[in-house]
Amino acid sequence: MHDLKGTLYKWYKKNKRDLPWRQTNDPYKIWISEIILQQTRIEQGTGYYHKFTEEFPTVVDLATASEDKVLKLWQGLGYYSRARNLHRAAKMITEQHRGIFPDTYAEIRLLPGIGPYTAAAIASIAYGLAYPAIDGNVYRVLSRYFGIDTPIDSTKGKKEFQELAEELISGSDPGMHNEALMEFGALQCTPKSPDCENCPLISGCFAYKMKQIESLPVKAKKTKQSHRYFYYYLIEQGDDCYLEKREDNDIWKNLYQFPLLETPKALNDRTIILQKIPFLPENSSCNFLSVSATRKHILSHRIIWARVIRIEVSKDVKIQAPYFKVNKKDISKFAVPRLLELFLEELNFEK
């Protein structure tokens, strides 16, 4: 194990990327980076990290911002519940910890949206506490190197990897150790076609010796994806159009969108044009301007098939709440799902 760690740390010092959150021990900034990077590539996440830390330099600044402002800044990252939890946690730190980020693993874990991995990353990097941060990269490195085929998404697997990771982190600089393992998985021991011939750990790697690189790590569960069919109505009234706020406990909660009709199956163009539009008052007429092509949008558990129906109504048509009128030029001020943002770019509404 000592040889593994020594070789790994030497590799890390030589190959680690120069990333902005590696230049600070501020737990707040480390936390921001970890939440942003949970499902985001470094290239994309770095820009969001700079935007967040410039707009909200301290946890109190984040806590006192409006949720709309936080969601707008998050727009494009997806998984909006993370942004809402970030905001809730900042308020909790401000109210319960006088704006000082908690410095124990147990207290960090109590914050909304922080699981074992994120808490361990913050505790080890910011405070030097010996908690192993086990993300997908770490599961992959440990599984391949030690030849562990217990599924990483099983209770038994999580316990086995946790015990091994705790043994490995012992006697090391915890923050550097965690970052080295994660970086090695991200750059060297990659999911597909890793460069094994130039790997410094090749001599001790079980998966390389046994030709099991492609089969490790093992995952037991396959995510089932459901299909949903979204029809957004861009209702134009002069220079204005209508929006609504998503308030149900569903994807994209508290984001804004055009009035939405969701159907159990896909509709053909004829049905779209002939059916009653539920957002318009009885007996009001409209002009159909266009029906967009279908856009496929993939989320972790769902595939959304979406279209935008662009219609025009006269000035005297009154559309009731929850729909509200905005000038088309002002749509960019509202936080919308990435799916709708792509449609808006096609319509030249997003500048």
In a domain, residue 273? The reply is: yes
Same domain, 204 and 231: no
In a domain, residue 240? The reply is: yes
The residue among 209, 243, 275 that closes a domain is 209
Burial of 65 (0-12, 13-18, 19+ CB in 10 A): middle
- Measured CA to CA, the distance from residue 31 to residue 53 in angstroms comes to 11
In a domain, residue 179? The reply is: yes
Longest dimension (CA), the chain: 78
In a domain, residue 351? The reply is: no
Estimate to the nearest angstrom the gap between the alpha carbon of 157 and the chain centroid: 24
Same domain, 172 and 262: no
pLDDT tens digits, the chain, 351 residues: what are they? Answer: 558 899 999 999 999 999 999 999 999 999 999 999 987 899 999 999 999 999 999 999 999 999 999 999 999 888 899 999 999 999 999 999 999 999 999 999 999 999 999 999 999 999 999 999 999 999 999 999 999 999 999 999 999 999 999 999 998 899 999 999 999 999 999 999 999 999 999 999 999 999 999 999 999 877 788 999 999 999 999 999 999 999 988 999 999 999 999 999 999 999 999 888 999 998 888 999 999 999 999 987 899 999 999 999 999 999 999 999 999 999 999 999 999 999 998 887 644
Q: Look up residue 118 and give its two tokens.
A: 């994120």
- Print the domain residue range for 325: 226-346
In a domain, residue 220? The reply is: no
Instruction: Tell me the CA distances in angstroms from 74 to 45, 142, 278, 307, one per residue in order.
Output: 10, 33, 31, 24
In a domain, residue 21? The reply is: yes
Task: Provide the domain count of the chain.
Answer: 2
Same domain, 205 and 230: no
Q: Which of 34, 160, 179, 183 is catalytic?
A: 34
Q: Which ranges in 75-228 belong to alpha helices (H)?
A: 80-96, 105-109, 116-127, 136-146, 155-169, 174-187, 206-209
In a domain, residue 24? The reply is: yes
Helix (H) or strand (E) holding 60: helix 59-64
DSSP category for residue 75: T
Same domain, 121 and 48: yes
Paired residues of 327 in beta bridges: 240
Q: What is the DSSP string of 269-332?
A: HHHHHHS--TTSPTT---EEEEEPPPEEEE-SSEEEEEEEEEEE--TT--PPTT-EEEEGGGGG
The residue among 155, 184, 209 that closes a domain is 209
Same domain, 130 and 181: yes
Give residue 340's pLDDT.
Answer: 94
Same domain, 20 and 158: yes
CATH of the domain at 106: 1.10.340.30
Same domain, 113 and 35: yes
- Measured CA to CA, the distance from residue 203 to residue 53 in angstroms comes to 42
Give residue 349's pLDDT.
Answer: 62
In a domain, residue 322? The reply is: yes
- Measured CA to CA, the distance from residue 157 to residue 236 in angstroms comes to 54
Same domain, 267 and 124: no
The residue among 148, 178, 209 that closes a domain is 209
Q: What is the DSSP string of 220-250?
A: ------EEEEEEEEEEEETTEEEEEE--SSS
Same domain, 159 and 271: no
Give residue 23's pLDDT.
Answer: 93
Same domain, 121 and 232: no
CATH of the domain at 244: 3.90.79.10
Is 262 catalytic? The answer is no
- Measured CA to CA, the distance from residue 98 to residue 93 in angstroms comes to 7
Q: Contact at 8 Å (CB) between 126 and 95?
A: no
Same domain, 183 and 247: no
Same domain, 107 and 200: yes
- Please give the model's pTM, rounded to 2 decimal places: 0.83
